[in-house]
Amino acid sequence: MSLLTPDSGLLFWMLISFGIVVFVLAKFGFPVILKMVEERKAYIEESLFMAEKARTELDKVKVESERIIENARNEHLEIINEASRLRDLLINDAKTKAAGEADKIIENARVQIQSEKEEAIRDIRRQVAGLSVDIAEKVLRSKLAEKDEQLNMINRLLDEINISKS
Amino acid sequence: MSGKLKIFLLLLSAFILTFHQVRASDAVAAGKEEPLNVREFILEHISDSYEWHITTIGDKLVSIPLPVIVYSKISGWHVFMSSEFHGGHAHEGLFIAREGEYKGKIVELDTAGKEIKPFDISITKNVFSLLFSSVLLIIIIMSVARSYKKEGFAPKKGFVAAMEMFIISVNDDIIKPCIGKDYKRYAPYLLTVFFFIFINNLLGLIPLFPGGANVTGNIAITFILALCTFFIVNLSGSKEYWKEILWPEVPLWLKLPVPLMPAIELVGIFTKPFALMIRLFANMLAGHSIILGLTALIFVTVSMGQAMNISMTVVSVVFSVFIGLVELLVAYIQAYIFTMLSAVFIGLARVEPHRKH
């Protein structure tokens, strides 16, 4: 039966057309499509992977930033505490120093005043002694202007010496 | 039964009735028509022809003439349109044999008056349909590929997306698991085979020009397809594949004085593609025959009275619709099976040596 015997014309055309179809599609058609789909698949996978990575990275950064903020807050508190401690210390120090200085100045002043006072007293004494000698001289001179008096005086002095001797 | 369906059936039967009466009056007008030879009717439609017969109105033949290309050893090359043969005329010493060995083929008479067949590469109905579907397939796939070349791998829409899904499903569900490692080398060929068979099957289901030809139900077509698979399978055969054929691991008496197993395996090389060829051919041929047989039912029952004819017409239409849907499924399944088995054979030919436990 003719149904089961391949016809030569049809074989010929089938060989040509199927050959061309296979050549064109297997070279320029399907590989392009398959390659692109493959590339898209790879791209999606990579994107997902990158997104996952970015997410974990972000989480890490978040934790890190929180840690940094916490640290900064602690440091801030510490610095403030330290500053107030230092301030107190400085003030106290200044106070004691100032007090000591003042005491010293007062003491110096007192010593100086004392020495000045003594000097003044000594001076006054010296002047008083000179003055009294001068006055005594003048008094004696005026009293011993006459001869009698001079003699009286000498006698009295002699008496006095005698009496004290005896 | 829903109202819509009722109306549909009513219209259908009204249509069939009118059609029937027209036919009946035709028959009356033409006098006693010779009864339809169903076997001839079906064979004529599923086999090749030199022109594309569309219909016959009265005595007038409506057909599309196709070019005849013939090389005769006696008279050289002949190229003319098949309309020259109308009415059984001979043209340039060539004519279509009415009976005998070359029935329906172009023949010429040699000097002894015997019919001989010249070298015939005419663009017949099947060849035309084959060329048409090949061009269509190339246009479709290349347009999809071009869209990828132009726009890169960005997601596609519409037709290209649908084709992509189709191609990827064939690639991932048939080719990849059946061949296994290194499937990428064979994927383009197998995809081409799949879509080639599928588009030809589909075109065969469309009853109007340029569809309706029985391309994949022709043994020449399936022969070439199976031949390609045969060569690819055996050319990609690994050492282990040939060893399993020529010196399989069976008891020695099966191989030695009489090489029983090697002989069986050698026959197996040829039976595998042979089965591919016959399976596709027979399935598509059967599908076309069933639809034609159901259609012929209408004309056969004309002589059995009106009631019988009307009822059988309804049955025929309903069954034709059903078989048409089945054929749609078969169009896919046969393409699927051919591709899958080709992939399996390639996978088997690339077998790796068994690991020693």
Predicted confidence (pLDDT) per residue in B290-336, tens digit: 888 888 888 888 888 888 888 888 989 999 999 989 999 999 999 99
SS3 A34: helix
User: How many CA atoms lie less than 13 Å away from B76 in the CB half-sphere?
Assistant: 0
Q: Is residue A13 part of a domain?
A: no
CB contact under 8 A, B138 and A29: yes
For residue A73, is it within any domain? Answer: yes
Classify residue A91: in a domain, yes or no: yes
Angstroms from B185 CA to nearest CA on chain A: 10
Above pLDDT 90, what percent of chain B? 29
Q: Is residue A61 part of a domain?
A: yes
Is 90 exceeded by the pLDDT of residue B12? no
Q: Which domain holds residue A66?
A: 20-165
Range name among A10-19, B21-30, B330-339 with the lowest pLDDT average: B21-30
Cα–Cα separations (whole angstroms), residue B145 to A39, B138, B176: 14, 10, 21
Nearest Cα residue to B339 out of B191, B222, B203: B191
Mean pLDDT of B193-199: 93
Q: Is residue A4 part of a domain?
A: no
How many domains, in total, are found in chain A? 1
Beta-strand (E) ranges in chain B? 51-57, 60-65, 67-72, 76-81, 94-96, 106-109, 115-116, 119-120
Among B148, B177, B179, which residue's Cα sits nearest to residue B161? B148
Digit-coded pLDDT (tens) for B36-56: 778 887 887 777 888 887 777
DSSP-derived letter for residue B51 is E
B-chain residues near A29 (CB < 8 A): 138, 141-142, 144-145, 188, 192
Give CA–CA dist B282/B318, Å, rounded. 24
Answer whether B155 touches A (CB < 8 Å): yes
Q: Does B192 touch chain A (CB under 8 A)?
A: yes
Q: How many residues does chain B have?
A: 357
| Cβ contact A32–B149 (<8 Å) | yes
Confidence grade of residue A43 (pLDDT, cut at 50, 70, 90): very high
CA–CA distance, B173 with A62 (Å, rounded to integer): 45
Residue A148 lies in a domain: yes
The reply to whether A10 falls in a domain is no
The answer to whether residue A15 is domain-embedded is no
ipTM for the whole predicted complex goes beyond 0.90: no
